[in-house]
Each structure stands twice: as C-alpha cells, then as structure tokens.
Structure 1
Amino acid sequence: MDEGARSAVRTETEVELYDFGRSTTLSREHARILEMSFEAFARQWGSLLSARTHGRSQVGVASVSMQTYDEYARSLPPATTLVVCALPGSDARAVIQFPASLATAWVVQMVGGRLGGEPQERPLTHIEQALVRGMITDAIDHLIRSFDGVLPEGISITGIQHSSQFSQVAAANDPVIVAVLPIGFAGGSANASVMLPASVVVRSLAGGPANTPEVTPPGTIDRQVERAPVDLALRLAPRSIRPHEVLDLSVGDLITFPHTADRPLELMVGDQSIATAAVGTSGARLACVVTATTPEPAQEHP
C-alpha cells in the first residue's frame, strides 16, 4: 500500500475524542431554537441602538454554542464591559458583554455628540454607567421577549464590570450558552456577546420551569411504584438437568420435580419469593391460597 492510500485509511478511521470536560451538549432542535431567538433579539437590539444613538446600527449573530464559563472568559479581551444580570429564583447569572470603546461611543452619541477619532478603551464613569444601564435594561426586555418563555421575567442588572480576568460570574466548569453578536455602526464594527446559564436555558427548553428547582412531590415515586403492574407466578421446587436431556425431550415424556405433594408452592414476583401458597380453585378457575408470607430481608434474624 502506498503512502497516499495509508493516509486515506487514516483519514477515514479518524475518530473524534470525547471531551469529558464538556459532557453537556445542545441537541439540534435546541440549538436551532436558540439561534432563532438570538436572531430575533439581534434585530430588536439593532433597532434599539439606532434609536438611542441617533445613528444606523446593525446587529447580527455569528455563532451560538455551549461552552464552559472558563472558555468564555478566556475568549474575552482583558479590558471590556460586562453587564452582569441576575435571574429571579436562581443563583445563576447572565452577561451582556461589549467592548469598552463601543460603550464610550454609545455614550457620546446618546448625549448628542459625534465620534471623533478612536473611541477610548476605559472604564465607564458613574454617569456613563447610568446611560448604558438604561439602554441595556431595554435590551434585556427585548431578550426576554425574543426567547418567548425560555428566560424568566424580571431579569435585572446587578452591576457593570470592566475586567474579564477578575470577573467570576460562574464556576469555571459551569456550562453556559454563548452567542457572539457582531455590531456594525457608522464608526466601524465590533463583536458583542451574550452569555446565559445553560442550567436555566436547557431546563426551560426541555419543558421544565425556568425559575424553580425541579422538586418531586413527596410520595410521588411511592404511588407510582404501588400502581405499577407486576406478574405473579407459582413455582415448584426447581430441578437441574443436563442440556442433552432438554434436547431429547419429546411429547409424552414425564419429568419429575423434587417437590412433595404436601409442600406449598412459592409465590413469585420476578425472581423474588414473596409468599408460599397451596393450589386451590375459584369457581371454574385455578387459584392459590396464601399460606405464609416471606419476611423482608431486614426483618430476618440470624
């Protein structure tokens, strides 16, 4: 076999290694729902930015993926703007991220100024934070409506941070949903991102409540087990025979069992003996009369 054929065989037999650090993935259906939701949000956020900054802005969706929080944090520039949001009924946090230069450009345009030169990469002042907070609050309302029940109502901003390296919004290995949103405006373009806790989003997509923990009502499992149908069987004392005896069986053969006529039969549920019983009748049907119950293992004494 020549070198080209060997290379083709290696390519065909190449397998994808399983990443135990990212055991949770999105199904195709859930991924498509998230993509459509983020696309709807991108359109609405673009209209909101255009109205607030008095200039044309466009927001798109570059990618939607599930990552760990550590992967998301390492993908961000060291200096940026992180709007941290609290979800009602949950300790999880969401993040809306955009470059610090983009935030300062928005502030300049919102107060009626014009962009001149390169926007500054710096933390926002208290007044600037108030302006940005008001705009992002409206964007959060659009995000909730775009997700149509997947996200809970009442998401609020808890703070604005400026360092991705020192902002610990979630545990490093926590799975998160990340959407990268390119924003185009008169002065250029930049990438923003939205991070949502996967624990809340996936549970909502699967049909569970978005803001309440999954709690099984007491007694539900017991009631379900009590109502589950089981098969009962009467069993004679078993006998062991060799395979060739089974293969030689024919119609009319007599097989004896080591079970005396006065010995009760075992009443079985699966492989578990629950009682002993004697054969009887009930009208025209065969029946059994329970003679003794088998004690549970915890009740047996040595």
Structure 2
Amino acid sequence: MGLVREHEGVRPYDFQRPHQLSRGQLDAVTTVLTTFWRSAANVLATYLRTPVQLQHMTVEQVPYEEMLQTIKVPAVLGVFNAAPNPGSAMIECAPMVALAMVDRSLGGPGVGEMPSRRLTEIEQSIIRRLFERILAVYRDVWQPMAPIEPKMQAMEHNPSFAQVAAEGDLVVVARQQVGVDGHRGHLALVWPYANIEPLAEAALKYQLIRDGTMENVVPKPEAMLRHVEAAPVTGSVLLGRTDITLGDFSQLKVGDAVILKNRYDQPLMLRLSNREKFLVLPGKSHGKLAVRVISRMEEE
C-alpha cells in the first residue's frame, strides 16, 4: 500500500489512538490556560505573600505511560474531578517547590535547601488547600465557556496510585515552570481525553464565536424559522387514480376518455414535496385553476 501524501484539509489519523484533540482544540485550550496560569500565579503570590513566577508553558498530547516516566517518586500529586465532565484529572507539583510553598504558608522564609522527599500528612493537607485555591481559578477561567465544578479527590505521592488514564491512552499535559523564593520546578495539569474533550470543544467554539468566524454556532430559533418559512416547497394535486392494461395504454389516442376510481364530487389530494398533506376541492381563481383546502391529512 502506498503512502498518503499530505493534502490540504487532510490530517493523519492514528487508529491506535483515535481519541485525541484536534490542532484547533489544542490551540483553544492553550489560550485558556494562558489566562489560567497568570491568574493562578496571582492567587499563589497573594496567599504565600511572595512573588511567584510562572513561565515557559507547554501544552502537548503524549501517551499516558510516557507522561508517567517524567514523574519521579516521591511526587506531589492531586487527583480531582470536574463535574459534569467524566473521569478525573491530575495536578502535579515539583516536591521542592511544594515544600517551599508549605514553608511560606507556615510563616517561614521559604528559603534554604528543600530536599525532594515525601510530604507528611500535615504538609499534604496544606498543599491540598493550595491546590483547591488553584482549582477555584480553574473553575472561574472555564466559566464563560463550560461551567464546571472541580473538586479535589485525593493526594498521592506515587503516580501508580493516581491512575487517571489507561496505558496506551493519550493525555493532554500542560506544564509550567514555577519559581518560589529561588526554588524552581514545575506545575503541571494532566487530563485524559474524556475529561478534557468537552472543555476543548467548548473553548474552540467560544474562540470562533468571539473571532466572528462561527456566528451561527449559537442556535438562533427566530432566524432559523425565517429561513424555513422562506424555503420553496413543490405542491401538486392528484386528480385521481385508475388501473389500465398495458395494451389499452398503448392504444390511447386524443379524444379517449379514461375513467378514474374516485367520484367527481370527491375531494382531491394535495401533495407537498411528494407527501400527501391536504384534501382539496378544485375550482378557479382569477382565471386560473385553483384548489380550496378543506382538511388536513392525518399523519401516519
């Protein structure tokens, strides 16, 4: 089988991973996340009372198992859902950055060496509250496009215990470099397809409507009704029916009379787009043949 050449309007389709976002959806999500990370940095800076730098955002689709290989144990992972979207997503924070934020939350300077270690239960509860603040920003950013209610489900230190997708599935990973009091690491959001796809579709439609390239995405009943009412419909009146042999038909000539099955005083059938709709009586109006509607045919 030959290779398929690239062609305008045609994009490769991966049959092994059919569930993936389109380029347009991924770009729309990236635009929303730019606003999200900027707002999240402001919220964290206010809560921690220290500047928080976020930069070098990347958004990509990668196999779930490949994403897991980038997470070192012990990790700082928060699993959350976002009703009404199905499935769960995950937020990840570099342990050194998480410990610096814990230190600042408890009134410390947030400086000094922060070892990469598993968080204690108290530290986990502090980070959980920070994640909940971030998720509040996450909710607000998506509100104009797709109202959601994100809620923390669990805190984990091992990605094996935070299974948000199946092996072989593609996930969307948004990773952002973060700096807190000289400690640098990353914050990341990870979504399985089922969780992010409704948001991506809503973001793309919102962007197209805002740009004026998809004004008709929002249903407009009045406009639709006007178009339907102006649509042309072909009407015809059935004079009657009869049975005739092929032999008689072949011998028909001008002047012959063909007897129909229906009586002369019975109503005729008015058909609209080849569907029987009304019973009518024949007559004339302004010198032309016309029919008067007397009843509507019952729908079968």
TM-score range, shorter chain: 0.5 to 0.7
* Equivalent in the alignment of 1:280: 282
* Equivalent in the alignment of 1:262: 260
CA–CA separation in structure 1 for the residues paired with 2:236 and 2:19: 44
Once the 2 structures are TM-superposed, how far is the Cα of residue 234 of structure 1 from its aligned partner?
4.5
The verdict on how the C-alpha distance between 1:91 and 1:186 changes in structure 2, with shifts beyond 3 A counting, is same
CA–CA separation in structure 2 for the residues paired with 1:233 and 1:24: 51
Residue deviations 1:206-257 (CA, integer Å, cap 9, x gap): 47xxxxxxxxxxxxxxxx9xx88753334799xxxxxxxxxxxxxxxxx99x
Once the 2 structures are TM-superposed, how far is the Cα of residue 86 of structure 1 from its aligned partner?
2.7
The verdict on how the C-alpha distance between 1:273 and 1:127 changes in structure 2, with shifts beyond 3 A counting, is closer
Q: Please say if 1:190 is aligned against 2:185.
A: yes
Q: Pick from 161, 167, 190 the counterpart of residue 166 of structure 1.
A: 161
Of structures 1 and 2, the one with the larger relative CO (CA 8 A, separation 6+) is: 2
Q: Secondary structure at the match of 1:62?
A: strand
Once the 2 structures are TM-superposed, how far is the Cα of residue 119 of structure 1 from its aligned partner?
2.0
The verdict on how the C-alpha distance between 1:89 and 1:62 changes in structure 2, with shifts beyond 3 A counting, is closer
In structure 1, give the amino acid aligned to 2:283.
T
Q: Pick from 133, 139, 145 the counterpart of residue 144 of structure 1.
A: 139
CA–CA separation in structure 2 for the residues paired with 1:289 and 1:114: 89
Q: Please say if 1:93 is aligned against 2:88.
A: yes
* Equivalent in the alignment of 2:174: 179
The verdict on how the C-alpha distance between 1:263 and 1:176 changes in structure 2, with shifts beyond 3 A counting, is farther
Q: Secondary structure at the match of 1:192?
A: strand
* Equivalent in the alignment of 2:117: 121
In structure 1, give the amino acid aligned to 2:285.
G
The verdict on how the C-alpha distance between 1:198 and 1:275 changes in structure 2, with shifts beyond 3 A counting, is same
Once the 2 structures are TM-superposed, how far is the Cα of residue 266 of structure 1 from its aligned partner?
7.8
In structure 2, give the amino acid aligned to 1:45.
A
Q: Please say if 1:25 is aligned against 2:21.
A: yes
Q: Pick from 35, 52, 55 the counterpart of residue 57 of structure 1.
A: 52
Structure 2 counterparts to residues 171-250 of structure 1, below 5 A: 177-196=172-191, 197-202=195-200, 204-205=202-203, 206=205, 230-234=233-237
CA–CA separation in structure 2 for the residues paired with 1:127 and 1:12: 57
The verdict on how the C-alpha distance between 1:103 and 1:96 changes in structure 2, with shifts beyond 3 A counting, is same
Q: Please say if 1:77 is aligned against 2:71.
A: yes
* Equivalent in the alignment of 1:252: none
Check the 8 A contact 2:100/2:114 in 1, yes or no. Answer: no
CA–CA separation in structure 2 for the residues paired with 1:40 and 1:278: 64
Residue deviations 1:123-156 (CA, integer Å, cap 9, x gap): x221001111122222222223333433536422
Unmatched segments (≥5 aa) in structure 1: 1-10, 208-223, 238-254
Q: Secondary structure at the match of 1:87?
A: strand
Q: Secondary structure at the match of 2:200?
A: helix
Q: Pick from 131, 134, 145 the counterpart of residue 129 of structure 2.
A: 134
In the superposition, the TM-score normalised over structure 1's length comes to 0.60
Once the 2 structures are TM-superposed, how far is the Cα of residue 23 of structure 1 from its aligned partner?
4.9
In the superposition, the TM-score normalised over structure 2's length comes to 0.60
Q: Secondary structure at the match of 1:165?
A: helix
- Percent identity among equivalent residues? 20
* Equivalent in the alignment of 2:219: none
CA–CA separation in structure 2 for the residues paired with 1:166 and 1:274: 64
Unmatched segments (≥5 aa) in structure 2: 207-224, 242-252, 263-267
CA–CA separation in structure 2 for the residues paired with 1:164 and 1:118: 21
The CA RMSD over aligned residues, in Å, is 4.6
Once the 2 structures are TM-superposed, how far is the Cα of residue 176 of structure 1 from its aligned partner?
5.6
Q: Secondary structure at the match of 1:168?
A: coil
Once the 2 structures are TM-superposed, how far is the Cα of residue 59 of structure 1 from its aligned partner?
0.9
